[in-house]
């Protein structure tokens, strides 16, 4: 029981699928954001008053200040695999369970990462804009000639589940040589499955024809790709970011693209999104998408359902399916 209610109260901070919402309503008093507005921190704080749980997205920042102002909150379930919008240490200190949605979006996101790589290498959006503008009036031998993908060198920075999915697609589907850098090496069996070779970061940057970023965001990975790293890359190389904004220094990247220090980039995430650096918007050699790497209906439904299931599991059954800070469970038990 929370705040005198017969059933716990939960907040659903963004619009989700009606059947997922109906499932939550069988267990909880639910306040849902049917308008899908992005609430300000103050409005989020107000709406979380008296709530035992919240289903959140990357739009909602769960900070130490917010947690201190919401003493009834017991669990926050992020509808994402990333959780850089959570102050996890503060959640743990406050005894609030934090959860995410790993696994269910792995293959879909890997598909999109490789699609973005192909679009970037082969200049798809640039050539489409050219055609739509009515500028195509003849064929020429080098018209929108892009970079080779098949048989080239694929570099992956961050080799978790999604990185491994991209590696398999490159190695098995496109005959690519796969290099990766991670804080720790994969097992020999996983390396063999991905046909991937661990190399130091500097070697990865220097050798990759196509560099894909799939590492989680943290203070340590902030601007993991900046001016110095871009200077190590080949002038013919492409860079794809499907990880998180802030991993790339967008201003430095815009400069590298404008000066052709690297050939092209494909970006699904940005610093300060949904705002995009204006210099990136002005460039033709960058493919831009609005953080949609996991955006298929089955995957988004699975993400919403897993986030909802985490609320039910913890608040009704006292357990968690995909906890970020499992130490909180021992306190509850």
The alpha carbon of 257 is separated from its chain's Cα centroid by a whole number of angstroms, namely 23
The reply to whether 212 and 276 lie within a common domain is yes
The reply to whether 234 and 168 lie within a common domain is yes
Q: pLDDT > 70: what percent of the chain?
A: 98
The reply to whether 239 and 140 lie within a common domain is yes
The reply to whether 231 and 120 lie within a common domain is yes
User: 6: pLDDT confidence band, cut at 50, 70 and 90?
Assistant: confident
- In the predicted model, is pLDDT for residue 331 greater than 90? no
The reply to whether 196 and 234 lie within a common domain is yes
31, 107, 251, 273: the catalytic one is 273
- In the predicted model, is pLDDT for residue 93 greater than 90? yes
The reply to whether 88 and 191 lie within a common domain is no
> Helix H segments across the chain?
18-25, 41-47, 64-68, 88-94, 106-121, 124-132, 161-168, 174, 188-194, 201-207, 227-232, 250-258, 278-282, 297-317, 327-332
Mean pLDDT of the chain: 96
User: 3: pLDDT confidence band, cut at 50, 70 and 90?
Assistant: very low
The reply to whether 34 and 115 lie within a common domain is no
Q: Give the CA distances from residue 131 to residues 123, 138, 147, 264, 265, in Å, rounded to whole numbers and listed in that order.
A: 12, 11, 20, 19, 21
The reply to whether 181 and 197 lie within a common domain is yes
Are the C-beta atoms of residues 125 and 284 closer than 8 Å to each other?
no
Q: Is the residue at 232 inside a domain?
A: yes
The reply to whether 87 and 150 lie within a common domain is no
Are the C-beta atoms of residues 165 and 128 closer than 8 Å to each other?
no
Are the C-beta atoms of residues 162 and 143 closer than 8 Å to each other?
no
Are the C-beta atoms of residues 154 and 208 closer than 8 Å to each other?
yes
CA distance 73 to 230: 43
7, 27, 177, 291: the catalytic one is 291
Specify whether 317 is catalytic: no
Are the C-beta atoms of residues 76 and 91 closer than 8 Å to each other?
yes
Specify whether 273 is catalytic: yes
Q: Which pLDDT score is estimated for 240?
A: 98
Q: Give the CA distances from residue 150 to residues 173, 176, 198, in Å, rounded to whole numbers and listed in that order.
A: 8, 6, 20
244, 271, 277, 300: the catalytic one is 244
**What residue numbers bound the domain in which 241 lies?**
106-288
Of 269, 288, 307, the residue that ends a domain is 288
The CATH number for 315's domain is 3.40.50.720
Q: Is the residue at 2 inside a domain?
A: no
Using CA atoms of 54, 60, 61, 65 in order, give the dihedral in degrees to the nearest 10: -60
Domain count, the chain: 2
The reply to whether 97 and 137 lie within a common domain is no
Q: Is the residue at 207 inside a domain?
A: yes
The 10 Å Cβ neighbour count of residue 178 is 25
Specify whether 177 is catalytic: no
Q: Which pLDDT score is estimated for 280?
A: 98
Q: Is the residue at 3 inside a domain?
A: no
């Amino acid at each position: 029981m929370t705040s005198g209610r017969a059933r716990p109260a939960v907040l659903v901070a963004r619009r989700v699928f009606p059947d997922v919402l109906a499932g939550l309503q069988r267990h909880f008093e639910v306040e849902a954001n049917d308008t899908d507005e992005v609430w300000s921190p103050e409005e989020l704080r107000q709406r979380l008053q008296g709530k035992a749980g919240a289903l959140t997205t990357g739009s909602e920042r769960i900070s130490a200040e917010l947690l201190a102002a919401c003493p009834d909150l017991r669990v926050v379930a992020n509808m994402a695999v990333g959780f850089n919008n959570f102050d996890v240490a503060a959640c743990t200190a406050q005894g609030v369970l934090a959860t995410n949605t790993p696994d269910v979006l792995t293959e879909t996101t890997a598909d999109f990462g490789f699609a973005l790589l192909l679009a970037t290498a082969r200049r798809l959006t640039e050539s489409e804009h050219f055609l739509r503008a009515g500028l195509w009036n003849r064929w020429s031998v080098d018209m929108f000639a892009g970079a080779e993908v098949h048989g080239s060198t694929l570099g992956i920075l961050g080799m978790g589940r999604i990185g491994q999915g991209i590696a398999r697609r490159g190695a098995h589907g496109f005959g690519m040589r796969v290099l990766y850098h991670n804080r720790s090496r994969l097992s020999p069996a996983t390396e063999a499955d991905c046909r991937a070779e661990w190399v130091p970061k500097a070697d990865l940057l220097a050798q990759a024809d196509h560099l894909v970023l799939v590492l989680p965001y943290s203070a340590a990975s902030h601007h993991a790709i900046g001016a110095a790293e871009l200077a190590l890359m080949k002038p013919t190389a492409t860079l794809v970011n499907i990880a998180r904004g802030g991993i790339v220094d967008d201003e430095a990247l815009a400069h590298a693209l404008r000066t052709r220090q690297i050939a092209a980039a494909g970006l699904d995430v940005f610093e300060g999104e949904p705002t995009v650096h204006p210099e990136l918007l002005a460039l033709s050699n960058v493919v831009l998408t609005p953080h949609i790497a996991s955006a298929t209906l089955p995957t988004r439904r699975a993400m919403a359902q897993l986030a909802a299931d985490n609320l039910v599991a913890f608040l009704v059954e006292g357990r968690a399916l995909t906890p970020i800070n499992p130490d909180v469970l021992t306190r509850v038990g």
